[in-house]
Copies of this chain bind each other. A is one copy, B any other.
Amino acid sequence: MNFNFTIQNVLIAVEDGYANVDVQVVDGTIAAIAPRLDVVGTAINGENKLLLPGFVNAHTHSSEMWQRGIMSALPLELWLAELYDFAPLEREKVYLSALGTAVETLLSGGTSVVDHLVLIPGKELETIATAVRAYREIGIRAFVAPLIQDESLTAGIPSGETQQNDSRLKSGNSSTALLTHEPYFRSTAATLELIEEAVRQFHRPDEGVSILVAPTGIQLCSDDLFEGCIELSDRYKLCRHSHLLETKAQEKLAQEKYGCSAVEHLKRIGYLGEFTTLAHCVWLTDADIAILAQTKSTVVHNPLSNLRLGSGIAPILKYRQAGVNVTFGCDGASSNDSQDLLEAIKIGSILHNVTDLDYQHWITPRQAVEMASLGGVKGLNLADQLGSLTVGKKADLVLYDLTSLSLLPRTDPIGLLVLGRPTNVVDSVWVNGKQIVADGQVTTINVQELRHSLFHHSQWEAQRKSQTVTQIEAHYRTVMGLSDE
């Protein structure tokens, strides 16, 4: 394949303005950026277009696409119960939703996706193989993070034991808990073996597919599982991923479980670090924030999911002031309910203006672009290879058509892209120098066929009834102090 091309006369961001330049890509690597370069390889017309480094969709769950639009208005703990009651169990669905997630990510400026992949029970390796196949076919850079846990769903809800006196901290399980927790169906050791096998079979960073260790979070994972993941991550040089303090309930649970904050506990067991990305981070104290800064961990902000589930507003401006690296994710499509990365970046950029009256702290569109690109690859150990228009870096690039109505009239192109509501603006996408979107169309898979398949594997419906929600709702409302109505 020919990974040599030259984009001519394209707008790029420089300092506080823009420049019209040519960009040469040779063997998939940015070879030169300057006006009037010789054409190497294919000539690409960049006129009236903006070139940016690709963004990272730094946290999602691809198979949630099957339930987008229909999930009830519920907070995370109950929402998860509904989600799992109706989770897809067919590999074909995993394949289609991975493709769908990739298409929406690519057409909204993303070149990389971190898929915290929900595994079909009993078909775990097959689930991973299927998602990997989809991402390889479409050509997006994929970070597949198999979602693992070793405790059952109800263990993620606080018992409420320490509710009366939050300062009297306890650890261990409560004998008076209102819910009894079934043991998880797969042992911790078997789960770790599964991840190791996935690494052997699918971890091929040079080919654009990486496996991450990704315990779902402190709410459903034992220390043994976290420690096993740390060991695997050290042995195979894997990046680490997890949810962290997405809800108030998880904050309570951490106190019940550890007698300290979840962040303190994760630091103690050694899970945090420069290549650990942590989704959500809504309920952190100032001391927790200092720990994230000190360990150089990355926060993945999922603003739409945090709003949809009522989780709260993550203190992103505080993170940035503390020097914590922050990037953006769409989160799974059942809590968003889209995979439009530009939408996540927009809302993630402006949401925090209501949390800090001093506008000098607000995130500017240029800062948002850097958070979404360089910020994303930092936590994935690729900042030296990706995330900016820099000679020597790999060509994960996105070309935006500035003549789309949604980006007119002409003002500040990056401002329009980040703060507007761009539609049909992605003209071309390259990953590792390979073009996978041209003229606004994905070239590597047949999107019409994908739409057909998604249509025929689904049906319109209105409300569903989750049995598990019915079982646990009363306990949840009591623990969270919600009145009966």
Q: In residues 241-260 of chain A, which contact B (Cβ within 8 Å)?
A: 248
Tally chain A residues at the interface, Cβ within 8 Å.
86
Q: Does A406 contact B (CB under 8 A)?
A: yes
Q: Does A308 contact B (CB under 8 A)?
A: yes
Stretch at the interface among A25-33, A186-194, A346-354: A346-354
Q: State whether A461 touches B412 (Cβ < 8 A).
A: yes
Q: State whether A450 touches B308 (Cβ < 8 A).
A: no
Q: Does A360 contact B (CB under 8 A)?
A: yes
Q: Does A292 contact B (CB under 8 A)?
A: no
Q: In residues 396-410 of chain A, which contact B (Cβ within 8 Å)?
A: 402-410
Q: In residues 316-365 of chain A, which contact B (Cβ within 8 Å)?
A: 333, 336-338, 340, 343, 347, 350-351, 353-354, 356-360, 362-365
Q: Does A421 contact B (CB under 8 A)?
A: yes
Q: State whether A454 touches B408 (Cβ < 8 A).
A: yes
Q: Does A70 contact B (CB under 8 A)?
A: yes
- Tell me, rounded to whole Å, the shortest Cβ–Cβ distance linking A176 to chain B: 24
Q: Does A447 contact B (CB under 8 A)?
A: yes
Q: Does A66 contact B (CB under 8 A)?
A: yes
Q: Does A185 contact B (CB under 8 A)?
A: no
Q: Does A446 contact B (CB under 8 A)?
A: no
Q: State whether A70 touches B343 (Cβ < 8 A).
A: no
A415 to B69, CA, bound (A): 4
Q: Does A273 contact B (CB under 8 A)?
A: no
Stretch at the interface among A11-19, A145-153, A379-387: A11-19
Q: State whether B409 touches A75 (Cβ < 8 A).
A: no
- Tell me, rounded to whole Å, the shortest Cβ–Cβ distance linking A71 to chain B: 8
Residues of A within 8 A of B (CB): 11, 16-18, 65-71, 73-75, 78, 96-97, 100, 103-104, 248, 304, 306-313, 333, 336-338, 340, 343, 347, 350-351, 353-354, 356-360, 362-365, 402-413, 415-417, 419-421, 423-424, 447, 450-451, 454-455, 457-463, 480, 482-483, 485
14 further interface pairs, Cβ-Cβ under 8 Å (given A73-B353, A304-B350, A343-B421): A68-B409, A69-B407, A70-B411, A70-B415, A73-B363, A75-B357, A248-B357, A307-B350, A310-B354, A310-B362, A333-B420, A340-B423, A409-B455, A409-B457
